[in-house]
Amino acid sequence: MLRRAENPDRPGADLAARLATASAHQITQAFGGPGRARSARIGFSLYEHAFLLRDGAEVSLWEVEHTATPDGRHMCEVYASEDTARRAMERRAAQVSQ
């Protein structure tokens, strides 16, 4: 998931190394559904990726998948918090609707 993330502020190599020790991973869809912007179809989905690390710690990452790009292509962004991910979705939606 981190390899696919296109946002420059995605979690870095330190967290990726910690996630390599995960003994479990669960994905939950927190938000999803198409929207309309201009005449193009825009879709957003938000997923929580919860990881259980070998040391017993739990870490969640938030993945935003969307088509709010100038050419309508599919894009993946990853954030360390749900709040940051939701703000990114709102920013993207506002940019496309302008």
Query: Residue 36 — very low, low, confident or very high, per pLDDT cuts 50/70/90?
Result: very low
60 pLDDT tier (thresholds 50, 70, 90): very high
Angstrom distance (rounded) from CA 56 to CA 78: 23
Please state, as a whole number, how many other Cβ atoms lie within 10 Å of the Cβ of residue 45.
17
What confidence score (pLDDT) does residue 98 get?
67
Q: Is-contact 31 44, C-beta < 8 A?
A: yes
Q: How far apart are CA 82 and CA 28, in angstroms?
A: 12
